[in-house]
Amino acid sequence: MLIYLYLISQGTDIQTFMLNTKKENITQFNDESLIAEYCNGQHIAFEILYQRHSDPLYRFILKQCNHRTSQTEEIFQDVWMNVIKNCQQFRAESKFSTYLYQITRNKIIDHARKAISHHEADHSNDSEFLEAANNHQPDYKVQLEICIELLQQCIQRLPDDQREAFVLKQESEHTLSELAQITQTTLETVKSRLRYAMKKLREWLPGECL
């Protein structure tokens, strides 16, 4: 009560104060505990989950959708709405991030099926871009930006399954077996896909970038 009166006198918003206090405590929770808390009505738990996973997930979708922003946002929204509505379906047998990326992958596949006609990548300009990049001798900063852009272009040139494995490996901190679980394949398949993807990227990227 005294704390409450003190905060009132200091002009602090009590609701915000309580929220921040709760948030500080709940930040220490792992993903599984957070989703359980959210299912019990603690919306702060969801906020923390969202902060942890939203950016990597968005990039994963973005790369899988060939940088189509509208499609990415649609899938991204669908995934999180699925988590919100079906939080009770999550079982702690697997990690929450595994569950999240499984849903995302399924959503991407659904969208890809719907827009299969638009999915064919146009690689005609890539060779021109690479040629231009190799001929150009920029300073270090410009070179880094070009290398990043080149990597993005190379990733997009990878086959879907290899790109998926590579991006998942880079964006999330999943183990290879977890990647196998997400992509619903065997461990060896994941290893193979990753090996091929990295080999191709090393080949395509110029020596100055690596």
Site of interaction with other proteins (CB under 8 A): 4, 13-15, 18, 38-43, 46-47, 50, 54-56, 58-59, 62, 73, 76-77, 80-81, 84-85, 87, 144, 147-149, 151-152, 169-171, 176, 191, 194-195, 198, 201-202, 209-210
Cβ–Cβ under 8 Å, residues 79 and 53: no
Residue with smaller CB distance to other proteins, 116 or 173:
173
Q: How far is CA 167 from CA 61, 113, 172, 197, in A?
A: 9, 20, 8, 10
CB of residue 176 to other proteins, shortest distance in Å: 7
> SS3 letters for the chain?
CHHHHHHHHCCCCHHHHHHHHHHHHHCCCCHHHHHHHHHCCCHHHHHHHHHHHHHHHHHHHHHHCCCCHHHHHHHHHHHHHHHHHCHHHCCCCCCHHHHHHHHHHHHHHHHHHHCHHHCCCCCHHHHHHHHHHHHCCCCHHHHHHHHHHHHHHHHHHCCHHHHHHHHHHHHCCCCHHHHHHHHCCCHHHHHHHHHHHHHHHHHHCCHHHC
Cβ–Cβ under 8 Å, residues 197 and 166: yes
CB of residue 101 to other proteins, shortest distance in Å: 16
CB of residue 198 to other proteins, shortest distance in Å: 6
CB of residue 165 to other proteins, shortest distance in Å: 9
Residue with smaller CB distance to other proteins, 116 or 210:
210
CB of residue 133 to other proteins, shortest distance in Å: 14
Residue with smaller CB distance to other proteins, 9 or 116:
9
CB of residue 49 to other proteins, shortest distance in Å: 9
Residue with smaller CB distance to other proteins, 23 or 116:
23
Residue with smaller CB distance to other proteins, 30 or 51:
51
Residue with smaller CB distance to other proteins, 34 or 98:
34
